[in-house]
Amino acid sequence: MACSIEIICVGTELLIGKTLNTNAYWLSKRITSLGGKVARITVVSDDVSEIASSVKEAVRRKPRFLITVGGLGPTFDDKTLEGVAKALRCKLEIDDEALKMVTEKYHVYVEEGRMEKAELTPPRVKMAKLPEGAKPLPNPVGTAPGVIIECEGTTLVALPGVPPEMMAIFEESVASILRQAAGDVTFFETSIDVTGVVESEMAPIIDRVMHDNPYVYIKSHPKGGEGISKIEFHLSTTAENSNIARKYISKTLVQLSGMVLKKGGKIKPVKTET
Amino acid sequence: MACSIEIICVGTELLIGKTLNTNAYWLSKRITSLGGKVARITVVSDDVSEIASSVKEAVRRKPRFLITVGGLGPTFDDKTLEGVAKALRCKLEIDDEALKMVTEKYHVYVEEGRMEKAELTPPRVKMAKLPEGAKPLPNPVGTAPGVIIECEGTTLVALPGVPPEMMAIFEESVASILRQAAGDVTFFETSIDVTGVVESEMAPIIDRVMHDNPYVYIKSHPKGGEGISKIEFHLSTTAENSNIARKYISKTLVQLSGMVLKKGGKIKPVKTET
């Protein structure tokens, strides 16, 4: 069974079109490459009720992992852990390990001359207030720790929204447990560009090829509209190992290419990733 | 009351990290500039049940508009209207107006020599099968029409996922009704970069300024981590007209700047948009 994952991105900046959601893009790509299956991405504002209801709804769908991104910093608009606590009906409490992590960071900043005082003001302590039962994940490049907590069979991970911090915590503390949960599976994808056949003419071809190759997902991406007949076909599969995955894709490509050429179309490879 | 809008993006390519969700970004920016408030963005796969459940959940939250993006084309993986019909418990039926739009497109393509036959194959007719009670929206740059349907106080709009087609249908048929529903409101935003004060020291300042300026939303975006003290503060507001909006923002900026300078920080404007 696939290891299903949901992502919740918290940030009003994503809903007013100030920020392009590159975090969701990076995480989806990375999770897929680790053998996980991203089932849904939800974007909500910096609002405790919105965060809480989206977390509650996601947990009810029982994904293996739920990853939140954003809202872990020291300012008033960082409300993710408050929302998570509300969703899980638990309290926020100062976590000793998290407080130690935060304290050490400020001492380093002072030593490096980046600031004058390392004192633990309330906004700094806030970053160490975790939902009951949660554990902090070290932040190798920033201040706010990540958070991990188990909840009804779902592992909830909260990551900060600053991209290098999100990526660093994911790589250091999340990638390995996710790969283990996904088991021995490999994702493999490839793309071809087809010219000379329009998308509506390709529809029955794809139907046939998908039917004969049930493990391969084919998606058509028209480039430049139905009238201009250039379409990218993206083939992807998840299999026990990369040999089997490549075999699935090769077999599918041979059949698809044969049918396209018969229709008078032309084929060009786009790129291959492992 | 704010005119609330939800966006549902349909496409497995968004969940495997193949495609960056620039459609959601463009739509959020455009909707915000028209005075609407994007309350949530949801991304689901090309799966009828996933589409149907996300539409049902969104309709239950009673947004004024629900915009779906993607999945309107002729191939098997274009399942949005099937999902919408399932969510609204209605049938898909051939819409005469939509069929006329699709037919005319293929005749034009044949006249322009872009294809040989204009015949209405099942995949082409599929683009004219709409949920009962829906109306097609002309597609000025592609083949599949957009779709509009009223549902329990929510106006549901389905747009294609090819960016130029999505944008063209939005501008031609959706922007005006959205602006009308939003009423006479203007969104205004500006940003300043603050250096020399770390985010945790700014927290109480922001709390105070937000308290004194309840109509202005301030969000901090640390650039380069808490240790390196450069933070962008983004100020935004929605008001009855642009004069009032600018006044709100100016008053807030004056107070915020004063408090930052007092802390020993430096300020640089980032950009202003209307």
pLDDT of residue B116: 82
Contact list, B31 vs chain A (CB under 8 Å): 17
pTM for this structure?
A: 0.91
pLDDT of residue B225: 53
Cβ–Cβ below 8 Å for B200 and A124: yes
CA of A234: which chain B residue's CA is closest? Answer: B13
Location of each CATH 3.30.70.600 domain in chain B: 186-273
Cβ–Cβ below 8 Å for A32 and B16: yes
Comparing CB atoms, the residue among A114, A189, A201 nearest residue B228 is A114
CA of A127: which chain B residue's CA is closest? Answer: B200
Residue A129 has pLDDT above 80, yes or no: yes
Beta bridge partners of B68: B8, B158
Cβ–Cβ below 8 Å for A162 and B222: yes
Residue A202 has pLDDT above 80, yes or no: yes
Select A186-273's CATH number: 3.20.20.140, 3.40.50.300, 3.30.70.600, 3.30.420.40: 3.30.70.600
- What would the pLDDT profile of B53-69 be if each residue is shown by its tens digit? 999 999 999 999 999 99
Provide the ipTM.
0.91
A43 interfacial to chain B (CB closer than 8 Å): yes
Task: Report the alpha-carbon distance of residue B220 to residue B210 in Å, rounded.
Answer: 12
Chain A and chain B share a number of CB contacts under 8 A equal to 238
Q: Which of A186-190, B173-177, B220-224 has the highest mean pLDDT?
A: B173-177
pLDDT of residue A228: 61
Radius of gyration over every alpha carbon of chain B, rounded to an integer in angstroms: 23
Instruction: Residue window 148-187, chain B: list those with CB within 8 Å of chain A.
Output: 162, 164-165, 187
Report residue B78's pLDDT band, with 50, 70 and 90 as the boundaries: very high
CA of B54: which chain A residue's CA is closest? Answer: A40
What's the rounded mean pLDDT across residues B114-124? Answer: 88
- What would the pLDDT profile of A204-236 be if each residue is shown by its tens digit? 999 899 999 989 999 988 886 555 678 999 999
Tell which CATH architecture fits domain B3-182.
3-Layer(aba) Sandwich (3.40)
Location of each CATH 3.40.980.10 domain in chain A: 3-182
Identify which of A133, A173, A125 has the alpha carbon closest to the alpha carbon of residue A151: A133
Residue A274 has pLDDT above 60, yes or no: no
Report residue B227's pLDDT band, with 50, 70 and 90 as the boundaries: low
Residue B135 has pLDDT above 80, yes or no: yes
Instruction: Residue window 48-87, chain A: list those with CB within 8 Å of chain B.
Output: 50, 54, 57, 73-77
